[in-house]
Structures are given as C-alpha cells and as structure tokens.
C-alpha cells in the first residue's frame, strides 16, 4: 500500500518525537565509507520468491497457496541475481513478524487475526527482532541456522545482504523467544501508569483498554473465515499508541492498527527528552558522533535498537533498510548509525523518508548513506510516464538535489509502489525502460530493482488483503513471471516469453553498465534546459544529460513519448570545453544497443541528429 500521503503529517509530528545507562562506542577506523561506489540493490520477498504453487486463491492458506523458503535461494539463482547486476540483495520480510499460523509446538505464541493484516502478516509488524519468520524455514526449529546459511550462500555469490529494521513500531504482541541472555523485551519494564516516561518503550492511553478497529467496506479478518481468535477483541490494557501515531484506544481501520509506536524520548507535546546535536555536527564524521553520545544518557529504546543492529551485524548482515525513518528523531539516527559505522564501516544504511526539507538533516546529522528519492525523482518520472507530467520537473528536481545526489536512492518499483506493467500505472513494462535508464544513470546513488520488475511482472490479481497492481506483502501468493523463471529450480529463461527475455536482457545490460561505469560516479550536466531553448524537436517528453569521468564521456537521452521523435540535440560550449572536443565529427557508441550516431562539433557548438523510437532511451559514449 502507498503510505506517503497518510504519513507526512505523522512524520513531521514524530520528528519532534523520537535505560539511562551510558553508551560505549566500539573503536574502528572512522573513515566515512559506503559498501560500494554505486550499489545495485535487488529487493525480494522470500515468502513469494521461490513459491511455485500456481493456485493463488485470494486469502488462501499456506497449505492452499504455498510459501517460499530461505532454501529456495540456491547458488544458481543467487548467481543469476548477481549476474543481473546486483551487488546487494534485500531480503524483505525475513525477520519474525506477526502472522496467522500455528507454531506453538516451537514455543511461538499464536497471533490474533484481529490485529494482523492479511493471513501471512505484514513484514513491518515485527514480533521478534532476534529471530526470523518461521514460515520461511524448512524446519522452523532451525530457522536462524537456515537464514545464516542463506547469508553465507549470498556472500559466496558476491551479494551483500540487507534486512529491514523498523524502529518506529513493532507488532502489538511483541515477544522475543530468541533474544540473547540479558536482553529485555520491548515494554517489559515500562511504567504503564504513565502516558509517557523517557525509558518506557511505548506510549500508553492510561485508563483505557485497546479496542479493535471498526471495519469498513465489509472488511473482516481472514475474509470472514471462522477462527477461534477472531472475535473483534484483543487484550491490551492499557492501550498503547498505534504505530502511525494514533493516540486513540481504538485506532481507525486505516491506521497501522497491527502495530504500536515506539517511544524514542519524545514527549507527547513534541519536546525532546534527550540531548540535541548542534548544527556543526553536520560537518563531523561518524567517529565524532559516536564520541558525542559516549557519555550521554539516552532513552532505553535507543539502546535496544543499537543492540538489535549489532546482533545482526555479528550474524553476517551487511546493511539495513530503515522503515519510515522520518518518523524517528534524527538524533537517534546519529546515535545508532555512528555506532554501526564504528563497528562495521562499510555497512550500507538506507532510509525510507518522504520529507525533502529534512533530507539533509538525515544525511549529515543522522549519518545515513542513502535516502529514498521517491517524492522527487520517482514521482516526477512517473507523472511523465502517465502523461500528466513534464520532464521539466525532472530537471528541476535534479538541480534541487545536486549537493546530495549521490545519497538519493533511485527506483521505479518497490513493495510500496505499483508495478510499472500494472493497469494502474503504465500498463506495459516496456514503457518503463526509458524511466529505468534515466533513473539508473542520473547520479552515483544506488539503483533498486524489485524482484519480477525485470520480467515485467504486472501484479494483476487481488491476493486477499493485498490488492492488484502491487505484489502483495500480506498474503500467501506466488508471482507468475518469477514462477516461470524458476522453471522447477533451473532458474533459466526457457518458460519466459520473448518480450520477458528481451526486458530482462535490457535490465541486465543496464544494471551491469551502471555498476561499472566510472562516468556514472563522476560529473553531471543537465542538457534539458539548454535543449528546451536551443534543440530542434526537443520538448518536455524528452530528457537528456551528460555524465563523465576521465576519458569516459557519456550522453544520455530518453524519449517518454509514444511516437517516433526526430530530434537535433545541442551540446553547449561549456560541455565541449570540459570534454576538450576538437572541431569535426565524433562517433557515438551506443552502450546498451546498436544505434549509430555522430556528434558534429563546429564553431564551438555540438549537434547530434537522432530519430528516437517510442519509449526509447540511449547511453552514447563519445569516442
């Protein structure tokens, strides 16, 4: 589901939000480091990825619809993902979250469907931060060992592993069975008589019991199926604040009612109950941040999440994607991320955040490596693809973000967004090729690909709680294009259509090029505004820019129109001087395709004459 519109107000409130034992940083080299210069992240839900059961009954059980397993990620398919161009793999939904399934024989308590979304549950309602989803293990008693083996296999195939951390909220029935000795559960030591106390992990609606939301539009847990736990009740006294910040003992059905909000030391009035960072810390490295926090008293929730992150680093994880990071105070991120970087400097830290005015705080004060570029670049490109936007806006956003461009992760799909090929978006995966090429080459920032995107997955069916256009994260389901790629564990293209093979080949060429090109980590010059004034046949359905480093000089041009576009692209004198191009003709080498072209330099002006196919895009190298 698309969270952005409902979250902006809550995130702004929570930014004011965010035991007294002192924190000790772990010594390490303090050089600012990221995992690789231009990562390519492949996001995948293990629950769906290896599931070859084609039943796909809406609201189907695990027995009816099947489920993917950690063991489905064989060395063969991990190599295929690496060969696609991925440097990192993000295993979404790996941690143990609330779900409707009986694992009591393993000591796991049942979750109440009244506070679980879907049957398989939301990956963002974490029940046990020190364990993994029992659904995903061949033997649930050995689930941590199976996940460790998956991490090892991933590393052997050249992939670094990312998992989610969800600091803003946890499942209503949080209970860790696998926590290390001495670790206390969230809320175990809370003073529940107080709405707020600094070292409480939750906020409380004192004197009130939790009440299950009132359904609308006919919604019933498990689609109305009889279940002894479905009774419109869930025992929680006193009631806790809900994950999106709702303070009512009875959240609304569109609140995150399956979760409770974590207290990071922000009082209900928004004031902070912890030390604040001065502006000068925006210029300091993570070692200075770690030193700042070393003698400070911080809220108990901060220490709990530090310990969780360090546990998974020791387990072998290489990075974290932070869910709804903008709803947690930036000082906490300084504390957590500096401790992570002191322990393992090349850890990749990616934040989901949707408030552009706060980007720089989360990068420079919060010490994030990367942020989602959703509200800017994704939204602008999508508007162009849907015919109600202009590439002028794409150029405008790049200018606004120029100083932080290497920190802004680009994507055209993820679990929150609609599939490009869905009827609700473009309706045709090929229409996303120009968008993906632009997105992947704009900056030195990482590129994210959502599993099945490279095959043109359309997510065309309602799965139960999850609806068509987005691949469900709440249900037991299988993904048609990925099932055919699986091909009984062979992981080849034998069952793919010609168009799916061609699309996958395009993604493979693009992603491998983007990860290896020095120019894409070098300089950027916008050519759009100049050509809007000087180019012939160039309008706001086209987009062009230059990238270069050393002797690798690239021109990128994309056609977002559904028509052939003859265009005469003009290069400004400033670019020709930077590239030290002599008068005359210079051949253009198409880096991903076979299109031929020439750059004519005359009188300090560069001209390229092209005929662009509908939705075509090209990366030309100047030879």
Question: Residue length, the chain?
Answer: 623
Q: Is 8 helix (H, G, I), strand (E, B) or coil?
A: helix
What is the CATH number for 496?
3.20.20.80
164 & 304 share domain: yes
250 found inside a domain? no
Which pair of structure tokens corresponds to residue 407? Answer: 């920190």
> Do 510 and 538 fall within a single domain?
no
pLDDT of residue 27: 34
What pLDDT score was predicted for residue 364?
A: 99
Gap between the Cα atoms of 144 and 151, Å rounded: 11
Q: Are residues 491 and 527 in the same domain?
A: no
Domain count, the chain: 2
Asked if residue 311 belongs to a domain, the reply is yes
Q: Which of 516, 538, 559 is the last residue of a domain?
A: 516
378, part of any domain: no
8 A C-beta contact, residue 616 and residue 564:
no
**Assigned domain for 432 exists:** no
Q: Which two tokens stand for residue 599?
A: 């750059």
Boundaries of domain holding 599 = 522-622
Whether the ω angle into residue 231 lies within 30 degrees of 0, i.e. cis, is: no
Residues 486 and 568 in one domain: no
Same domain for 460 and 311?
A: yes
CA dist., res. 97 & res. 333, Å (int): 23
- Is 29 part of any domain? yes
Q: Is residue 389 part of a domain?
A: no
The pLDDT value given to residue 218: 83
| Same domain (yes/no): 559, 505 | no
For residues 449 and 587, membership in a common domain is answered with no
- What is the structure's pLDDT at 3? 55
The reported pTM is 0.95
Measured CA angle at 434 (ends 431, 439), to 5 deg = 120
**What distance in Å separates the CA atoms of residue 535 and residue 558, rounded to the nearest whole number?**
14
CB-based contact 369:349 (threshold 8 Å): yes
The reported pLDDT for the residue numbered 216 is: 80
Do 507 and 528 share a domain, yes or no? no
Q: Which of 498, 516, 534 is the last residue of a domain?
A: 516
Per-position b or e across 183-209, b if 16+ CB within 10 A of its CB = eebbbeebeeeebbbbbbbbbbbeeee
pLDDT of residue 1: 39
**Which alpha helices (H) appear in 251-299, and where do they start and end?**
286-293
Q: Determine the distance from the C-alpha atom of residue 557 to the mean position of all C-alpha atoms in its chain, rounded to a whole number.
A: 26
**Which domain-ending residue is among 494, 516, 538?**
516
Q: How far apart are CA 244 and CA 570, in angstroms?
A: 49
The reported pLDDT for the residue numbered 37 is: 80
Instruction: Report if residue 211 sits inside a domain.
Output: no
**Domain for residue 264, yes or no?**
no
What pLDDT is recorded for position 95? Answer: 99
Residues of the chain whose pLDDT is less than 50? Answer: 1-2, 4-15, 17-35
On whether both 457 and 596 belong to a single domain, the answer is: no
Tell me if 276 sits within 8 A of 266, measured CB to CB. Answer: no
Task: Specify the pLDDT at position 289.
Answer: 99
Residue 478 main-chain phi, psi, to 5 deg: -130, 160
Say if residue 457 is in the same domain as residue 559: no
Number of neighbours of residue 589 by Cβ within 10 angstroms: 13
Residues 451 and 358 in one domain: yes
Q: CATH number, domain at 575?
A: 2.60.40.1180
Q: Are residues 287 and 347 in the same domain?
A: yes
First to last CA, the chain: 46
Cα separation, 261 vs 324, in Å, equals 12
Contact in structure between 201 and 301 (CB atoms under 8 Å): yes
């Amino acid at each position: 589901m698309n969270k952005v519109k409902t979250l902006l107000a809550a995130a702004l409130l929570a930014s004011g939000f965010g035991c007294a034992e002192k924190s000790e940083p772990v010594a390490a080299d303090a050089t600012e480091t990221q995992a690789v210069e231009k990562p390519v992240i492949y996001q995948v839900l293990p629950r769906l990825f290896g599931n070859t059961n084609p039943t796909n009954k809406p609201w189907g059980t695990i027995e009816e619809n099947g489920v993917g397993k950690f063991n489905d990620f064989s060395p063969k398919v991990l190599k295929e993902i690496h060969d696609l161009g991925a440097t990192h793999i993000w295993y979404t939904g790996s941690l143990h979250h609330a779900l409707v399934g009986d694992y009591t024989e393993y000591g796991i308590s049942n979750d109440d469907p009244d506070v679980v979304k879907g049957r398989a549950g939301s990956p963002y309602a974490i029940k046990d931060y020190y364990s993994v989803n029992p659904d995903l293990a061949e033997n649930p008693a050995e689930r941590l060992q199976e996940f460790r083996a998956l991490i090892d296999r991933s590393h052997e195939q050249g992939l670094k592993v990312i998992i989610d951390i969800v600091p803003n909220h946890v499942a209503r029935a949080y209970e860790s069975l696998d926590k290390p000795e001495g670790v206390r559960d969230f809320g175990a030591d809370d003073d529940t008589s107080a709405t707020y106390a600094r070292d409480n992990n939750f906020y409380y609606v004192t004197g009130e019991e939790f009440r299950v939301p009132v359904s609308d539009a006919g919604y019933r847990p498990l689609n109305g199926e009889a279940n002894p736990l479905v009774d419109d009740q869930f025992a929680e006294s006193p009631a806790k604040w809900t994950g999106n910040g709702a303070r009512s003992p009875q959240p609304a059905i569109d609140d995150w009612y399956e979760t409770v909000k974590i207290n990071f030391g922000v009082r209900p009035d928004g004031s902070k109950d912890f030390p604040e960072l001065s502006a000068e810390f925006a210029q300091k490295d993570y070692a200075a941040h770690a030193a700042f926090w070393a003698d400070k008293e911080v809220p108990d929730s901060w220490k709990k999440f530090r310990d969780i992150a360090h546990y998974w680093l020791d387990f072998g994880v290489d990075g974290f994607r932070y869910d709804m990071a903008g709803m947690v105070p930036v000082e906490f991120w300084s504390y957590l991320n500096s401790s992570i970087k002191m322990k393992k400097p090349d850890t990749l830290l990616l934040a989901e955040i949707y408030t552009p005015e706060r980007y720089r705080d989360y990068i420079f004060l919060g010490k994030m490596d990367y942020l989602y570029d959703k509200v800017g670049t994704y939204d602008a490109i999508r508007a162009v693809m849907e015919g109600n936007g202009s590439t002028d806006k794409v150029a405008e956003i790049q200018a606004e973000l120029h100083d932080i461009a290497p920190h802004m992760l680009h994507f055209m799909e993820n679990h929150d967004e609609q599939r490009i090929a869905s009827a609700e978006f473009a309706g045709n995966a090929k229409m996303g090729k120009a968008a993906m090429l632009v997105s992947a080459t704009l900056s030195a920032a990482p590129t994210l690909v959502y599993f099945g995107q490279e095959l043109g997955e359309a997510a065309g069916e309602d799965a139960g709680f999850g609806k068509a256009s987005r691949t469900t994260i709440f249900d037991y389901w299988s993904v048609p294009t990925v099932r055919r790629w699986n091909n009984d564990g062979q992981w080849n293209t034998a069952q793919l259509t010609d168009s799916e093979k061609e699309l996958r080949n395009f993604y493979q060429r693009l992603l491998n090029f983007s990860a290896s090109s020095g120019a894409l980590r070098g300089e950027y010059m916008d050519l759009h505004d100049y050509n809007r004034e000087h180019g012939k046949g160039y309008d706001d359905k086209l987009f062009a820019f230059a990238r270069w480093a050393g002797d690798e000089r690239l021109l990128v041009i994309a056609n977002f129109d559904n028509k052939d576009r003859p265009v005469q692209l003009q290069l400004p004198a400033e670019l020709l001087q930077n590239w030290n191009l002599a008068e005359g003709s210079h051949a253009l080498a198409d880096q991903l395709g076979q299109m031929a072209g020439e750059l004519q330099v005359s009188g300090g002006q560069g001209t390229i004459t092209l005929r662009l196919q509908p939705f075509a895009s090209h990366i030309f190298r100047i030879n």
